[in-house]
Amino acid sequence: MAREKVLSFLIEGGNARPGPPLGPTLSSAGLNVGKVIQEINEATKDYKGMTIPVKVIIDTSTKKYRIEVGIPTTTALLLQAVGAKEPSGDPEHQKIGDLSIEKIIEIALKKKPQLLAKTLKAAVKTILGSARSIGITVDGKDPKQVTKEIEEGLYDAVLSKYEEEWEKRES
């Protein structure tokens, strides 16, 4: 009967290092530290500069393992997308960046496992709400306006391009 041991870490995306706590913990579990760290860095490279939860699940009898990468917060993904360090202190009057609707859809797809939204359209509206609250515009407009335009069907064509990927992703 297989017994699993779960090791949980918070690492910087694409930048795991063999030092403590990662190296010693992996080594004491009998794993090849360099190989596991290389796989973690490969799995988290899209989240460079963000803190990511990572689990290494080890079968204690065979020493086989798998890596599960968590998802950063919506705010962290939005900030990374606009290249900002922090949200606007006054999102109504001070904007920190502008994103395309495609970038908002991409973030919604990444966040699907953590969102309660049943449809891509609902997920995008959730991400738009977060963007508005931290001072990000979308296609040069207030995200509230973009949400209204989504309701009116103005973005149906672009959303339909991503529907299949939305359906394929795990929730």
CATH of region 4-69, choose from 3.30.499.10, 3.10.180.10, 3.30.1550.10, 2.60.40.1080:
3.30.1550.10
The whole model's pTM is what?
0.77
Dihedral angle, C-alpha 85, 77, 54, 36, nearest 10 °: -80
Q: How confident is the model at residue 1, as a pLDDT?
A: 53
Q: 21-58: per-residue pLDDT in tens?
A: 899 999 998 899 999 999 999 999 988 888 889 999 99
All structural domains of the chain with their residue ranges: 4-69, 74-168
DSSP structure class, residue 141: B
Residues 74-168: name the CATH superfamily.
Answer: Ribosomal protein L11/L12, C-terminal domain (1.10.10.250)
Do the Cβ atoms of 89 and 143 come closer than 8 Å?
A: no
